[in-house]
Structure 1
Amino acid sequence: MKSEPGVLWYVIGPSGAGKDSLLAYVRARLPASGRLVFAHRYITRPADAGGENHVALSREEFEQREQGGCFALSWRRHDLAYGLGVEVALWLEQGLDVVVNGSRSALPLAVQRFPGLRPVWIVASPEVLAARLASRGRESAERIAARLEEAATLQAPPGAAVLRNDGELAEAGERLLRLLTDSLSENCT
């Protein structure tokens, strides 16, 4: 293990940009280095709701864990509660690089909590976002319209690596894989 803290890769972008698909793509192809780990999020959304592989909690369970100090970071968005477990901070302290599916709204708090954080901004065209949101089947047409309206106003945070995910998953997936594995190589020297 490295003696210095690891890097937190904080993947963000508008709903429908394909963050979950990209993370799954990279996880399936990542060389077995043992130095890069992916954190699950704890979410008050049913496990079978589709999308990311997460730990599903009831609101009561979430609040109990939050009050008990079980989260390194937590936030609320779109009527759901999200958390990153304290294991993220432990892994970073052990010198592991950690990839998380973050939240734009929680980025300022995440930067404060994890000063070495590296944001990765995933973007897609409005047409692609609309198609992906509709295909998930989790939200009404009005809710999708509101998400698209919000996405039109968003900009990448300063210093973020920006990845466009409009085409084939493998295109953006390979770019994300290179970004993460190149970083591992740099950190070994």
Structure 2
Amino acid sequence: MMGPSGAGKDSLLGFARERVGARVMFAHRYITRAVADGENHIALTHDEFATRLSYGLFAMHWESLGLRYGIGIELDAWLARGMPVVVNGSRQHAELALERYPDAQFVHIDATTSVLASRLARRGREDARQIEARLARRPAFGLPSQARVVTIDNSGMLADAGTQFLDVLSQASCA
């Protein structure tokens, strides 16, 4: 799963997690940022992150806007046992993820610019000028040509986008 900040990825993950139980594994994200309201990740200091990285404890890792993100190696153990796994990843990391996991299916979560701006403002991590700059530098969404991708518009009701996401998970679980 990937998409811009404010698209509602964490909300969709929570929606799905409540409904699929243990049939799908949701990978932990390790981030060098304190946990905020509605976000499900494990907060690490920069030193803790560097130590885990040096011991090879991340299946994937990347940096964005001064923060470090990692997905733990438990991802590989779950996949080896045939479990479907959802990762809250990064568009900038998609090509490397596809190299490591060629059967991956990408779910792009998006929302209109006005919805993104409103959600980012409510989140309170950035002021209005920073939000405007973030939205202005929003990169075009692109993935390698061989990538399988589904796009879900989460501009409206969470239940609508959530149902679409559950359909994707259901298809992946049956594959």
Query: What TM-score bracket applies, with the shorter chain setting the length?
Result: over 0.9
Aligned residue number for residue 94 of structure 1: 81
Question: Unpaired segments of 5 or more residues in structure 1?
Answer: 1-10
CA displacement 1:47-95 (0-9 Å, x = unmatched): 2x23421111000000000011000001000111000000001111111
C-alpha spacing 1:156/1:177, structure 2 compared with 1 (3 Å): farther
The structure 1 residue matched to 2:153, chosen from 146, 164, 167, is 164
The structure 2 residue matched to 1:38, chosen from 14, 26, 32, is 26
Contact 2:153–2:161 (8 Å) recurs in 1: yes
Task: Report whether the alignment pairs 1:126 with 2:116.
Answer: no
The structure 2 residue matched to 1:27, chosen from 14, 17, 22, is 17
Aligned residue number for residue 99 of structure 2: 112
Which is bigger in relative contact order (C-alpha 8 A, separation at least 6)?
1
Aligned residue number for residue 53 of structure 2: 66
Q: Secondary structure at the match of 1:27?
A: helix
Contact 1:44–1:57 (8 Å) recurs in 2: yes
Alpha-carbon RMSD: 1.3
1:117 positional shift:
1.1
Equivalent-residue separation in structure 1 for 2:130 and 2:74 (angstroms): 33
Q: Secondary structure at the match of 1:72?
A: strand
Number of corresponding residues: 172
1:146 positional shift:
2.1
Task: Report whether the alignment pairs 1:77 with 2:67.
Answer: no
Could you tell me the percent identity over the aligned residues? Answer: 47
Question: Unpaired segments of 5 or more residues in structure 2?
Answer: none
